[in-house]
A and B are shown apart, each in its own frame.
Chain A
Amino acid sequence: MRHCVPALVLCAFLACTVSAQQRSTVYTSVISTGAFIVGAANSETGLFYQAGNGDTAWTHTGPMRIRANGFAVDERSRGRILYIAAGNGVHRSSDAGATWRVLTDWRVTEVLSIALDPRRPGRLVIGTAYGVFVSKDTGATWKPGNAGRKKPLFTSMVAADPHARDRYYCTAEDGLYRSDDGARTWKRTSLRATAVRSVAVHPGRAGMLAAGTENEGLHLSTDAGRSWTRCTAGIAHETFWAIAFDPSNPTRIYAGGHESGVYISRDFGASWVRSVKGLKVTTVHSLAVDPLDARVLYASTSWGGIFRSRDAGDSWEYAGLTDSQVVCVRMYAF
């Protein structure tokens, strides 16, 4: 028995350690708080993170006041390599946020999103107010990648397809575009809504993707964009900026946008229910599902900070970053 006690303690310690290691990390980007004025004494904005421990405290990392529109975390590096897509350009840290380097020069500005492809470690694809730019050397050099697109080239979001090598999607003012050659050339999919604002690729099912538009609803495709179905059953809103798939349940999808709250579908978009219980701000910029516990969701809002759900979106609780315009939230399990 005397020998068992330390062994039990050790086992308990290891269990806790494993549990702690398996906790997801939540990252968010805040572009503004309260009355943001360029050049004024603004409060902290930029990239924030927290271990998914259920409280409202967040840690800031990286430069402040750079209009951080989006970010990406290199999962292979377990959070050491971070990218911020910002008004100032693309920022990179290779030491978990201790030091940063701006990868882009004056030619690249108003960066709105960044996509990493784990199979192409050196390739970065960014969406900007002036179109798509591509780097093949981890940001050392950049080239525009907009062949096949019509002007204006405004691109609010780019996404890599994890199921098809060199395939990317980008939003545009005249629809959703797909590239099959590493974001060099693009072809418009059959989704030709006036302005597509968001796109999400299902992490587990090839060909499944969803797109949110300005004023023209939410659309789903099961064939990599060749055909689309507009989601209508149960949906009373028209502008969607946020989409998230449940990685553990292919039929469950979440979506949100302007004053919409969070819509939940449990049948791959055939029907939807609106969830606003506890969601004090209903304009939703971004949604993320915990890769380790699909019941846990985060919703980032416009001027309302972050909200968390512990019951797969049925109800929400305030999770911090008060008064902030939180434009992007993502969860990673390192």
Chain B
Amino acid sequence: MILLSVFAAIGHAQSAPDFDPRARRITAYFDTAAAPGILGAAVRYHARKDLQRADSLFLHSRELTQPRGDMFWMYVVIGTYLHGKGVMSPDAERAARTIWKTYFPYRGDTENHWCLYYTSLYLAAESWPGLPGSEWYNGRSSDENLREAREYLIHWVTLTTSIGQGEFDSPTYLPEYVIPLTLLAQFAKDAEMKQRGRMMLEYLYADFASDHLDGMYLGGNARDGATTVFNPRSAAAAEFAHLYFGAPATAVSGWTVFSALSDFRLPAIIVDIANDTAHTMLARERKRVRNVIRFGEERNPPVYKTTYRTGDYGLSSLQGGILQPIQQHTWSVRFKGAKPYSTIFGLHPYWSGRELAMFFPEQEKILIDDVIKSKGTYAKDTKWTGSSPFERVFQHRNTLIALYDIPAGTTSEHIDLFFPKTLDERIVDRRAGYSAERATRTSACTRCSAASGCACRRTRTTTASAARIRRTGTSSRCDRRRRSAALTRSRSAASRARRSSSSARAASPRRTPASTATCSTSPSPTSATKTENWST
């Protein structure tokens, strides 16, 4: 809210020379690709050229001939139609109308599904006003659909701007919000809804900008992908960071087409925030937990996110605990540089039917089997996203402490830390449980403390080395619990590059109640530590 009012005061928009060449690169791909699909039609309709080819692409698209995809189908069909309205052939126009009568999309069960669904339904109902329910898939008239969609969108805007987004700051799900809002901002006939679309775009991009570094969405994130969590620049958000913030170019995909075709431009101040490398910045944000339907009285408890960003790295965290099922990313440091896998993070790999039943209405005892059919890593202790009720995180500027209080008998009695192979240097002091990591101008120091010491073990993943802190031995009678904590301190430092990578396993000895994992960054490793170069 405060940011938005500042934008209004500053007022000037992102300059076209910044945005337009990048937008042209995206649209050019779909202009020239051999099989551009329905998005190729959108690009041609928008440019008012090659309209016969556009009609053909539209009419023969999978979206028209074999519709599927529910709310993901809705936005692409209405977006293409609106770009072609007035220039598409009568046949294409008829087909666009008819498909909203014959194909019945599912509304979905997440915040992004509903944003896509109701924004698309709003624009469709506005496009074809006055039709009876018999002309719509859901049996509801144009007026009913328009009213319902408008009411929900206003509700969502109010909720989001008062207590925060539920699927907040998602490197993978950002498109599912900004694409429909881009279409709303561009095509809504209702001036208020158009304005709401534009303001929410500014809100979401400002949110991204304050957590942005070099194309990456700094996390804690409500939902991150199983692979993008390793490699933040490969997430869909990076494509939008390129288009709007001028971050490094990414491969072109369909996500950014409607943004590239849009007349929406960011206020320059948001671009400046995204790219400010001259100042350190501390951002404290309030978000909300996804709708809790069981095992809690409060529908949307608060989420607190802290982000400390310099020109070289960003350390960011949520408070820990179960805030989202399946894809939560609680804390990480992500650093600038040309190499991939530019992140260090940790988690306790936890899963349970009870966690899922907090958010999904199916029977608790079958939910894990249900979820792993689509999210295969959910119930694996090698997973790299997810929440844990046994994790608590504290951050002060560039220092982070993650405390893991893991009872015996839970799904995984260890925590995992991720260190990429692409680090320039990694120094490990096994006895003290310290390690120091360096990547370009960023140094991190990690201290993993488990009970009275740590045993370190190198593990391999497909992309990187990993450190695992695993509880070993038996519990003492007086305290059956084990505690782990990670402390991260981040500072920028320039030192010579040396390629190494390593990983560690820390275990708590018997009869010692607490284990601690500490991760920090410092200007340079101390001379007392022993350097190990582990080939992985």
Contacts and interface: CB of A to CB of B under 8 A. Distances in A.
Nearest to B107: A88
Contact of B364 (A41, A65, A106, A214): A214
Contacts of B118: 106
A129 B357 CA distance: 11
Given A105-B148, A283-B366, A66 B104 contact: yes
Contact of B104 (A64, A89, A152, A214): A64
Contact of A129 (B69, B70, B140, B293): B293
Given A35-B373, A63-B104, A154 B361 contact: yes
Interface string A145-164: 00000111010100000000
A258 interface: yes
Interface in A78-127: 87-89, 99-102, 105-106, 109-110, 112
Contact of A110 (B70, B109, B138, B366): B109
Contact of A67 (B68, B109, B152): B109
B369 A39 contact: no
B129 interface: no
A204 interface: no
B369 A303 contact: yes
Interface string B100-121: 0000101111100110001000
Contacts of A1: none
Given A66-B104, A102-B138, A302-B366, A39 B109 contact: no
A188 interface: no
A32 B366 CA distance: 12
B363 A152 contact: no
B362 interface: yes
Interface string B147-177: 0100110010000000000000000000000
A88 B106 contact: yes
A100 B134 CA distance: 9
Given A156-B361, A258-B363, A65 B292 contact: no
B71 interface: yes
A290 interface: no
Contacts of A69: 361
A31 B71 contact: no
Contacts of A303: 369
Contacts, number: 110
A234 interface: no
Contact of A152 (B71, B294, B365): B294
A35 B374 contact: yes
Contact of B70 (A31, A65, A285, A325): A65
A152 B295 contact: yes
B473 interface: no
Interface in A191-217: 195, 197, 214
Nearest to A31: B362
A258 B152 contact: no
23 contacts: A35-B374, A39-B72, A39-B73, A39-B106, A40-B374, A42-B68, A65-B70, A67-B109, A87-B108, A100-B104, A101-B138, A101-B139, A101-B140, A105-B148, A106-B114, A129-B361, A152-B293, A152-B297, A173-B295, A214-B364, A241-B363, A258-B366, A302-B369
Given A37-B374, A258-B366, 14 more contacts: A39-B72, A64-B104, A87-B107, A87-B109, A99-B134, A106-B148, A106-B152, A130-B293, A152-B293, A154-B361, A173-B295, A241-B363, A258-B363, A325-B370
Interface of B: 68-73, 104, 106-110, 113-114, 118, 133-134, 137-140, 148, 151-152, 155, 292-297, 361-366, 369-370, 373-374
